[in-house]
Structure formats: structure tokens, C-alpha cells
Structure 1
């Protein structure tokens, strides 16, 4: 997790409490103990405050597969309990952390049997992680790049053929068609937004609620990381939508574009991608 790196004393202190707390202590009790040190931004992460999710926000609500076990961030329900972003300069703590490699590097979510529609000329879903800006330059972030794939039947997974340009690993423009790149401004407790707001263009490749948007029309049958994907499977998803989304830490995925074994990952990271939630534009 980028949160463990030196970029954020805020998150480091929180994880320190996790490593020292007794098993009987709750996550929120540990966080509350840190509030005097961490300030108001920590309080924003006591989210969600209600178990009832907004009915107009089409959140993925079912964990189909999850096997990571990162200390302090191993509750997979955090990936479906609502989006709790902390803005441009801080990462959310309400996340489920993936492993860097192996089976635990992937997470599969669904909408409980419902189908995400392909809306014409539009972003169809948004993936929320906990990226945050780490310097004065607006395109330099502590990121958790993730490879995104979708499936209608739970067997044939198709992706977007992501690409990485070698260079500054924290440069936003080095990563194309990945999740886990942009900060999350939407917080269902402190910054509630409508579904329409979440999909509103804020300019510069950013959405009003943050996160990384994907358009099903951009699915690529040439993405070699797809499982049983071909042009027919892509056409089927683009026509009928999808039911399942697989999110995988980029560090566990083959980078076919330049022949390397895996996409790069920031050195010293404690774990892989940190998943805060996925929102669909329309369901059927």
C-alpha cells in the first residue's frame, strides 16, 4: 500500500496503531485514539457512518472472490460498504488491500446479480482506490495501479489493454487505462454526491467525485491478460453489459507491451491496490 510509504505520516501513524493494538480492539477505536494527532482529515475517514447505502448510487455490493490478508486492511466488505474518499492530499482508510502478487492480488465484485449497462458515449463505471497527490505538480501521485477486467458470465473476462510508459512511476500520464490512479473526492459521509455528479467531467481527465472511469466501448479483444476473451466476448459485453468486475494489482499482471514480466510497482510497498468501491452509471 502506498499509504505505508513515507508519502503520508497520517496513514503511517494509523498503521502503527494497527500493528500494536490488541486483537479485541476495533478498527474505529484505534482510529479514534489517533484523532488528536491526525486532525480533522482522520475524522473524515470514519466512514461510512450508516450501513444503509444511498439508493441512487449504484455501488458494487457483493464480494465474489477475495483472498488477500493484509494486516489492518483485510476486511473485503470495505470494498462494497460505500466510497469514503479523502480528497486530493490523503488516502482513504476504508479500503480492502490486495496483495502485490499471487491469488490475493485480485478481487472480484458484482452487483448482486444485476447487470451494468453500456451507456452510449459515456463512462460506464468508476473504480475508487486511495491515490493522493505527493508533490506540487498536479500529475504526480502516490498510486496503486490496478488492471480492470469485466465479465458477463463470470468466466470470460475482458480488459482494456492498459499500458505503462517507463519513467517516473508516480507520474499520472505514465499509466493509461488503469484503476487506482486518481484521488477520490466522493465521500458518502462528508461529501455526498448524486450518481449524476459522480460521472460529471471535472476537466483534465478527472471526474467530479474522483476515481478512474471506464467506458465499455474501450474494451480491447487484444488485451492478452483477458481470460477466454475474444472479439465475440467483447461484443457480447458491449451489447449486454457485465455482471462481474475483477480488479488486480498491476504488479501481478504481465506487461505484454514491453515484454517485461509484470507492471512495475513502487519499491518498498507493503501491499498492492487498495479498493474503496466501484460505482456503475446504470444497472438493469
Structure 2
């Protein structure tokens, strides 16, 4: 079953969407709301309907049919689906690797918002990828917190009691929540993320994030227009009983019909990359070299659109213009 978060979970209260790819459809002049019901009757009816749609595989096909009244059924849909996933294998709570891959397990002063995607623990509890064609549900929508730059939406994460070290190749992977449109690897739902790291939570060093396209939908969906940003590659890794990826696989690139990508999906970042240390509040050559030699403590993930909407425009079908974080995994850590 495919599950497309922006359309099946976040339908506005009035507008009904006929097709997941058609964001411009609105109710016709003859549309009428359903008769009023008691709250209990509505909840029970909606839950039965959501479960029916999930079981029959229709949830992603028809937002009109599977979201009664066009309302926001976040909790109902989450309850109807396997824990943390988008159908199929359930996402397990236990981290599957004892070494070689370490998940960021704590957030720092993260904003807590109402709704299914406002819980910051969803960015630190597990990685629940849904594959190339679907978005996952175990994600956190970035919010405004004291760790963000003014006016931005972000989340800062850390590895409790650990520092992330500069290893060979990809040092850590950011798992956001993109997916393909119509199984086309060159057309993706993208909410780009600026990635920065810090030793003290005050001074941050980043890479050289850029977007080279126009504001047209084809350009915004084309992964080739994004550089040094996360939120570009779908999350393939799910810590389920069917997982066959080793810890090292998460940091290993492969080339196939989808292009060049990490075996577990997500977007990798390398502290040894020439572009590292070229951006960031408080970053300089001394700090960059210190991070490379002794590691970093915090990683900050900022919705690029919230930092500069002109430099990093976002697709019109983004419900709230906020990136959705599944988690971050590092290759090598040491005690602080």
C-alpha cells in the first residue's frame, strides 16, 4: 500500500482533493457538507472508514473517499496503519545495530506542536522509511525553537554522551520524507533541509546548500537542482524484521535505475568535503578544523524555505512549508 502524507493526512477542512497530484481542485458550486453528527458518531464513522481504506489499499488513491468530510484525520490514519510505517512491515522500536551505525537519540529544546507530526521524539526514536513512492508517518515537522535562527523552523539533535567523528566517506545520513511522483526518479516531492553541525550548540558550520532551478513545479521536483541539502532522497531503510541492510550499507552508495544513492536512502554528509565549513553562523576555519579533528555534538536541520524563501522555494503542495524529519544516523561516535 502506498501512502502519500501531504494528501491523505493533511487535507484542509473545506477543500477536497480529487487526485493526489492535483492540488488545484476545489469543491464545485453544488458541493454540500455532510449532515452534522455527534462527535462520537463522527469519530467512529471516520475510524471505520480509515481502517477500511487502509485495508483495501485505497487510502492513497482517493482523499475524497477516504477522508470523510475532507477533515484532518491524522490520528485516525495513524491508528489505522502499522506502527511508524506506511503499510507492509511494521517499524520495530529496537535499533538493529550495536556498532557501525548510531541514531541521534535526543532533541534539544525542540518545539512540541499539536497533531501527529508535532512530536519531536519521532525524529529520534527509529527510522521508518516507506520506500521510493511513499512518505512515512513516523516523522517530526520542524518547528520554531530556541535552537533555530530567528524566524526559522528547525530541530537540533544529539547523540547522548557522544560526539560524531569524521570517518572515511559519508559521516552521517539525514532521513527526511521525500518520495517520487508517478515512480519517476526525476520528479520528487521535496522539502529541502539545510544541515549544520556544532560542538557547543552556539556556533554552527554547514556545507554549501544551493538550489539552481526556477519556481516551476518540474524544477522544484527535480533532485538534480539541489546541492548540499537533505530531504532529496527517499528513505529506503526501515528497521523492520525484513531489513537486510548492514550498518555499513547505510553509508554505501549504489547506482541503479533511480540513479546514485545510498543503499538505505536518505542524504549523506561528509565532514571532509571541500564545501564543509563554507557556511554557518559562527563558523570559521579554526572551528571547521576542530570539528574535523575531534568531532561534533549537535546537528541542526532547518527547513531551507524558512531560511530564505527566494533562494529555496518550495513545492506548492507542501501543506505547511516544513520539512519532516525521520532521523539522523552517524557512522562513527566516541564518548564526550
Shift of 1:114: 0.4
Deviations 1:66-121 (A, max 9, x none): 1152632111101011100011111111101125996561100000120111013x
Matches within 5 A, 1:177-256: 177-189=228-240, 190-203=242-255, 204-218=259-273, 219-223=275-279, 226-254=280-308
1:54 positional shift: 3.7
Deviation at 1:4, TM superposition (A): 1.5
Give the structure, 1 or 2, with the largest relative contact order (CA under 8 Å, sep 6 or more): 1
Pairwise mapping of residues 75-90 of structure 1 onto structure 2 (< 5 A)?
A: 75-90=119-134
- 2:123 aligned with 1:42: no
Q: Which residue of 2 aligns with 1:129?
A: 176
Structure 1 residue corresponding to 2:315, chosen from 249, 266, 269: 266
Deviation at 1:200, TM superposition (A): 1.3
Instruction: State the SS of the aligned residue for 1:139.
Output: strand
Structure-2 separation of matches of 1:12 and 1:246: 36
Residue 45 of structure 1 and its aligned partner are, at CA, apart by 6.8
User: Any idea what the Cα deviations from partners look like across 1:161-216, whole Å, max 9, x if unmatched?
Assistant: 11101231000001011001001110001425221111111123300000000000
How many residues are treated as equivalent by the alignment?
A: 262
What's the counterpart of residue 205 of structure 2? 158
Give the C-alpha shift of residue 3 in structure 1: 2.9
8 Å contact from structure 1 (residues 125, 281) kept in 2 = yes
Larger Rg: 2
Deviations 1:220-262 (A, max 9, x none): 3332xx111111111111111111000000111237xxxx4x4
TM-score, normalised relative to structure 1: 0.82
Alignment of 1:103-118 (within 5 A): 105-118=153-166
Partner SS state of residue 194, structure 2: strand
The CA distance in 1 between the partners of 2:114 and 2:152, in whole Å, is 9
Aligned Cα root-mean-square deviation (Å):
2.9
In the other structure, the counterpart of 1:278 is: 328
Match of 1:19 in 2: 72
Tell me the equivalent position of 1:65: 109
Give the Cα separation in 1 of the matches to 2:220 and 2:281. Answer: 27
Stretches of structure 2 that go unaligned for 5 or more consecutive residues are: 8-19, 23-58
TM-score (norm 2): 0.70
For residue 31 of structure 1, the aligned residue among 78, 81, 86 is 78
| Equivalent-residue separation in structure 1 for 2:108 and 2:250 (angstroms) | 25
Q: Which residue of 2 aligns with 1:38?
A: none
Contact 2:211/2:225, CA 8 A, preserved across alignment: yes
SS at match of 1:173: helix
